[in-house]
Amino acid sequence: MSRLLVTGASGMLGRAVAARLVADGHDVRTLQRSASRVAGAHDIGGSITDAGCVRSALRDRDAVVHLAAKVTITGPLAQFEEVNVGGTRLLLDEARAAGVARFVHVSTPSVAHHGRSLTGAGAGPADPGHARGSYARTKATAELLALAADDPAGLRVIAVRPHIVWGPGDTQLVGRIVDRARSGRLPVLGDGAALIDTTYVDNAVDALVAALDADVAAYGSPYVVTNGEPRPVVELLAGICAASGVPVPRRHVPAGLARAAGSVLDVAWRTFPLAGEPPLTRFVAEQLSTAHWFDQRRTRDALGWTPLVGLDEGLERLAGWTARQAPAVAP
């Protein structure tokens, strides 16, 4: 049994990772602003930017899985920097001081995405200067900090980049798709033929657990994790919508027009005190109109991992979960 800290366990992926580690018999502590609701884990409420809180959370831990981050698509850059960069730096410093042996840094492929198509790509280097949007830029900086902290004689660090994680209860990808489809605000950009790979949540959990146990030779590097099943974006959107019981998108919008509109909305949301999220951003428009799928051979060899839940099975599980959420109809 290992003594583990999971940060960000109030989100879908973090909660699932913590629950899996508890089920595997580990002593699991979690750190996040709100309760993780993971049975068997010991919650510490607080921020990864609070030195005292981080120090307490790391006491007597053997390893860390770091998922906590600011993941919204808009917001002041300073907030992203405080949490994603400053919080990661603090966590690394305190982990070294506490004698933690292993640190799994959960990153994102967007740290190396420049807005162009990625077809069969590997885990290119994180590039804060060219990453798209505040989230991606600050996550790129955080990943560079994490990998620079890898020390063969001390704290070992590995970066894992799960790509577009989704599943039942997901409020990020699935939640946004459902909300926009239900209100008729989910167009297909361009012809919808761009191939995009995604990661079913159980597969992402398995990969992160595998990273904790990976051979030490795998540490010090980044790895992209996906299902390895690229599909046209129009097919992905239709599958998620159908499984979630909302209308499948039929309307097409030229990709160039969507990107231009996203750029304008980015400026508007940065300039004026507008509420909520913009209906579109340049980053989202690029993600929905360019191919991004990755060669998984290096990841699977290094982590000793393969995805067990295929895309179609994942959609079936999402449909079953959606059906169970529907209110019972009185006879």
**What does the pLDDT read at residue 330?**
45
- Active-site annotation holds for 135: yes
pLDDT tens for each residue of 278-288 = 777 777 777 77
Helices (H), the chain: 12-23, 51-58, 77-80, 88-98, 133-148, 173-182, 201-213, 233-244, 255-271, 282-289, 297-303, 311-325
- Residues 6 or more apart in contact with residue 312 via CB below 8 angstroms: none
Write down the CATH number for the domain with range 3-163+198-226+294-309.
3.40.50.720
Question: Are 286 and 132 within 8 A, CB to CB?
Answer: yes
Q: Which of 282, 265, 302 is nearest to 135 (CA)?
A: 282
* Burial class, 225, CB count within 10 angstroms (exposed 0-12 / middle 13-18 / buried 19+): buried
> How far is Cα 139 from Cα 32, in angstroms, rounded to an integer?
18
What is the DSSP track for 141-202? HHHHHHHHT--TTS-EEEEEEE-SEE-TT-TTHHHHHHHHHHTT--PEETTS--EE--EEHH
pLDDT tens for each residue of 222-234 = 999 999 999 999 9
Which residue of the set 135, 200, 219, 223 is catalytic?
Answer: 135
Tell me which amino acid residue 323 is: A
Structure tokens at 311: 């895309």
CA angle 162, 166, 172 (to 5 degrees): 100
**What does the pLDDT read at residue 234?**
93
Is the pLDDT confidence value at 131 over 90? Answer: no
Q: Rounded to the nearest 5°, which phi and psi values hold at 182?
A: -65, -35
Does the pTM surpass 0.85? The reply is yes
> How far is Cα 33 from Cα 29, in angstroms, rounded to an integer?
13
Question: Are 248 and 146 within 8 A, CB to CB?
Answer: no
DSSP H or E stretch at residue 227: none
Q: To which residue do tokens 């993780």 refer?
A: 36
Is the pLDDT confidence value at 208 over 70? Answer: yes
> How far is Cα 173 from Cα 175, in angstroms, rounded to an integer?
6
**Between residues 202 and 189, which one has the greater pLDDT?**
202
- Residues 6 or more apart in contact with residue 297 via CB below 8 angstroms: none
**What does the pLDDT read at residue 27?**
96
Per-residue pLDDT averaged across 135-145, rounded? 94
The backbone region for 281, taken as left when phi is positive above 0, alpha when psi lies in -120 to 50, beta otherwise, is beta
**What does the pLDDT read at residue 331?**
46
> How far is Cα 237 from Cα 239, in angstroms, rounded to an integer?
5
